[in-house]
Copies of this chain bind each other. A is one copy, B any other.
Amino acid sequence: MTKSYDQVCALAREVSIINSSASVLSWDQETYMPDRGLGHRAHQLAYLTGKAHELATGKKFRTRLEKAEKEKRAFDSKEAANLREWRKELERAVRIPKNLVEEESEATSHGKAAWVEARKKSDYALFAPHLEKLLGIARKKAELWGYEGEPYDALLAGYEKGASTREIDKLFSALKPELTQIARGAVEASKGVSPTALRGKYPIEKQQLLNREIAESLGFDFEAGRIDTTAHPFCTTLGAGDVRLTTRYDERDFTSSLFGVLHEAGHGMYEQGLLQEDFGLPSGTAVSLGIHESQSRLWENHVGRSRPFWEKWLPRAAEIFPHLKKVTLDEFLRSIWKAEFSFIRVEADEATYDLHILLRFGLERRLVDGSLKVKDVPQAWNDGFEELFGMRPPDDARGCLQDIHWSMGGLGYFATYTLGNLNAAQLFAAAKKQRKIGDSLARADYAPLLKWLREMVHAKGSLIMPRELIRSATGREIQPKWHLTHLRERFL
């Protein structure tokens, strides 16, 4: 390492000190902050993120980066990879003028409030002008960033490095026919399963006991993390050695909080597996949302919804919740594998989830390229939904108003959910093949799987791009076939 490289690192770490401080404040806002603290908290967050942005795009950083870039180093060195990532981030950041950042910040703040209201009243007209505004900003940003194929590429790149819209479209098109078939078959096969078979009294403290025991056994390190309660589960990193998960509780059904924890613990173990000494550098940072989601989905669905998993944990759950003693393993699995067509994405089961994403990806792409008008979204949504699910949303609250993403300017984000599912299946299949992970999982020993993921995924940070990461870990290009195989085996 050279002095100028070290100086870039020092500034990057300074940026991450500020950003991770903001993460503490955001976490607190979601978990414990009293209502009247909101105004001041907004000032604090705006100030800190503004300072971090200033520092990350300022002259000092640019000069140091240029100096370090001029030095000779091996293309495949960590230093070279970090410098490339800083350059990419810088180029994206500096192309957006300050007034557009402010315009977007204001538009999302109003957009979110309008969306809450519109969803509550199921009145798309209340949200449409805000979506118009936010879409305009997103398109302007796409033009400023530039793209090779289509404007959606530029937005996508903010969430999934190195991905192209065309490739995702190809993947999703390959996925769609069989996925639709599997979903229909799964829904058909689940028809006899009572949706309330596991209903009972599950006191929150007992759920917390079980959730923690399971998360710990998977490998989530509670010396370097914790679980709290929020309206919507999430995972956030507040610093090296400090990863926070959240979940929510349904006192009639323990699986709701548990699968929330398994999902977030998957994200959390990725964060804990990053090089902690590189915290704040690209080499110590998760590479993309699609890879992040692969970790959560892998632990939630491939491990946490599997038969061997519940062979171990159903008896333990029944110790904590004695009425589960009368539920057989098969009955239990039928319950957690129950598939049905439903209007709301966040409540969707594994078999039907990706259909929700396919719909959104298509609509978003057309919104961004201008071939779909904002005013036509409800019609297009409902038509698309009917085609995929064979039923029509009764109102926009259960249709195009259900997700928060667009109201926050998050256009280009949805595809990463299904990318995550494809990545998860492909990684899990490779792990089982390469290391006979299946045997250890049958013994409820999760360490070998975590070790493999640590090596193949976590330790890479952002040193290699998602596509290359999947290729190097699995020996193949990303393909839908493992995900389809998994769904077929589980549901048909």
User: Quick check: is A383 within 8 A (CB to CB) of the other chain?
Assistant: no
Residues in chain B near residue A35, CB distance under 8 A: 223-224
| Contacts of A422-458 to chain B: CB distance below 8 A | none
Residues in chain B near residue A38, CB distance under 8 A: 241
Given A17-B47, A28-B28, check contact A40 B241 (CB 8 Å).
yes
Question: CB distance A21 to B48 under 8 Å?
Answer: yes
Question: CB distance A40 to B224 under 8 Å?
Answer: no
User: Quick check: is A30 within 8 A (CB to CB) of the other chain?
Assistant: no
Question: CB distance B228 to A37 under 8 Å?
Answer: no
**Residue in B closest to A225 when the chains form the complex, CB atoms:** B34
Question: CB distance B44 to A241 under 8 Å?
Answer: no
Question: CB distance B34 to A17 under 8 Å?
Answer: no
Given A34-B222, A36-B241, A40-B240, check contact A21 B17 (CB 8 Å).
no
Residue from B43, B223, B226, B239 within 8 A of A40 (CB atoms): B239
Most buried by B among A28, A221, A228: A28
Given A14-B47, A32-B228, A34-B226, check contact A242 B40 (CB 8 Å).
yes
- A61 to chain B minimum Cβ distance, whole angstroms, is 16
- A403 to chain B minimum Cβ distance, whole angstroms, is 30
Report the separation of the CA atoms of residues A39 and B239 in the bound assembly, to the nearest whole angstrom. 9
Most buried by B among A47, A221, A228: A47
Query: Chain A 7-42, CB within 8 Å of chain B: the 1/0 string?
Result: 000000010011011001100100011111111110
Question: CB distance B239 to A34 under 8 Å?
Answer: no
Given A37-B239, A39-B241, A241-B39, check contact A44 B32 (CB 8 Å).
no
Question: CB distance B239 to A44 under 8 Å?
Answer: yes
Report the separation of the CA atoms of residues A123 and B18 in the bound assembly, to the nearest whole angstrom. 40
**Residue in B closest to A18 when the chains form the complex, CB atoms:** B47
Report the separation of the CA atoms of residues A32 and B243 in the bound assembly, to the nearest whole angstrom. 12
Question: CB distance A36 to B226 under 8 Å?
Answer: no
- A467 to chain B minimum Cβ distance, whole angstroms, is 31
| Contacts of A61-99 to chain B: CB distance below 8 A | none
Residue from B21, B34, B225 within 8 A of A25 (CB atoms): B21
Residues in chain B near residue A222, CB distance under 8 A: 34
User: Quick check: is A238 within 8 A (CB to CB) of the other chain?
Assistant: yes
**Residue in B closest to A40 when the chains form the complex, CB atoms:** B239
User: Quick check: is A279 within 8 A (CB to CB) of the other chain?
Assistant: yes
| Contacts of A228-270 to chain B: CB distance below 8 A | 228, 238-242
- A265 to chain B minimum Cβ distance, whole angstroms, is 14
- A35 to chain B minimum Cβ distance, whole angstroms, is 5
Report the separation of the CA atoms of residues A43 and B15 in the bound assembly, to the nearest whole angstrom. 12
Residues in chain B near residue A21, CB distance under 8 A: 21, 25, 44, 47-48
Most buried by B among A17, A38, A221, A239: A239
Question: CB distance A224 to B34 under 8 Å?
Answer: yes
Report the separation of the CA atoms of residues A213 and B181 in the bound assembly, to the nearest whole angstrom. 57
Residues in chain B near residue A228, CB distance under 8 A: 32
Question: CB distance B238 to A37 under 8 Å?
Answer: yes
**Residue in B closest to A27 when the chains form the complex, CB atoms:** B28
Report the separation of the CA atoms of residues A75 and B34 in the bound assembly, to the nearest whole angstrom. 38
Question: CB distance A28 to B34 under 8 Å?
Answer: no
Question: CB distance A32 to B226 under 8 Å?
Answer: yes
- A420 to chain B minimum Cβ distance, whole angstroms, is 26
Residues in chain B near residue A14, CB distance under 8 A: 47
Question: CB distance B36 to A223 under 8 Å?
Answer: yes
Residues in chain B near residue A242, CB distance under 8 A: 33-34, 36-37, 40-41
Question: CB distance A36 to B238 under 8 Å?
Answer: no
Residues in chain B near residue A47, CB distance under 8 A: 14, 17-18, 21
Given A34-B222, A34-B241, A242-B34, check contact A40 B20 (CB 8 Å).
yes
- A209 to chain B minimum Cβ distance, whole angstroms, is 16
Residues in chain B near residue A279, CB distance under 8 A: 40
Residues in chain B near residue A225, CB distance under 8 A: 34
Which 7 A-B residue pairs are closest in the complex by CB-CB distance?
A37-B242, A40-B239, A36-B241, A36-B224, A40-B240, A17-B47, A37-B241
Chain A interface residues (CB < 8 Å from chain B) = 14, 17-18, 20-21, 24-25, 28, 32-41, 43-44, 47-48, 221-226, 228, 238-242, 279
Please list 30 pairs of residues, one from A and one from B, whose beta carbons are closer than 8 Å in the complex, sorted by A's number.
A14-B47, A17-B43, A17-B47, A18-B47, A20-B44, A21-B21, A21-B44, A21-B47, A21-B48, A24-B25, A24-B28, A24-B44, A32-B32, A32-B226, A34-B222, A34-B224, A34-B241, A35-B223, A35-B224, A36-B223, A36-B242, A37-B224, A37-B238, A37-B239, A40-B238, A40-B239, A40-B240, A40-B279, A43-B239, A44-B239
